[in-house]
Amino acid sequence: MIASDDLQARWWNLEAKLVERFGKKPDLETILFLIGVQELGAINPKFSKEQKQELMHVAVCSLLVPSGYYELEGRDKDGWPHFKQLKQMPVMNPIEQEQFLKDHVLLYFDQNGL
C-alpha cells in the first residue's frame, strides 16, 4: 500500500506541474500524447486521429525502453521512431496497467528534467 501511496503522491505532484505549465489538468492519455510529440520531435498543428494514436504508441514504447521491453530500431523517412519489442509485457489487470504506465511516465519526466 505504501508503494501505491508514494506513486499517487508523485503523480499528483507531476499533475500539479503540468497544470502550472498548461493551465489545466491532463489525463494519462493526454500525457502520453505529449510524450509522443516530444519523442517525435516535430510539432504539427493538426495531427490526424490515426497520428494521435501512433503518437501515444510511440510514447508507450519510449516509456518502456528503460525497462527493457522495447528498443528503438530507428526512424522512417518522415522522422517517426520505430521500436522492436524485446520481451512480453507482464499480465496485469487494468489498475495495475495504469500504475505501471504512471510509474514509467514519472521515470520519463525525472530522466528528461521536465
Task: Read off the pLDDT of residues 1-55 as tens digits, 9 standing for 90 and up.
Answer: 456 679 999 999 999 999 998 899 999 999 999 999 999 997 777 899 999 999 9
pTM: 0.88
SS3 category, 48: coil
Round to whole Å and give the CA distance between 61 and 84. Answer: 9
Domain parsing of the chain, residue ranges: 27-111
Of residues 62, 76, 55, 73, the one with CA closest to residue 108: 62
Round to whole Å and give the CA distance between 34 and 67. Answer: 20
C-alpha cell at 61: 514504447
Q: How far is CA 27 from CA 2, 16, 33, 70, 82, in A?
A: 23, 12, 10, 24, 25
pLDDT at 103: 96
DSSP 74-88: EE-TT--EEEEE-SP
pLDDT at 85: 97
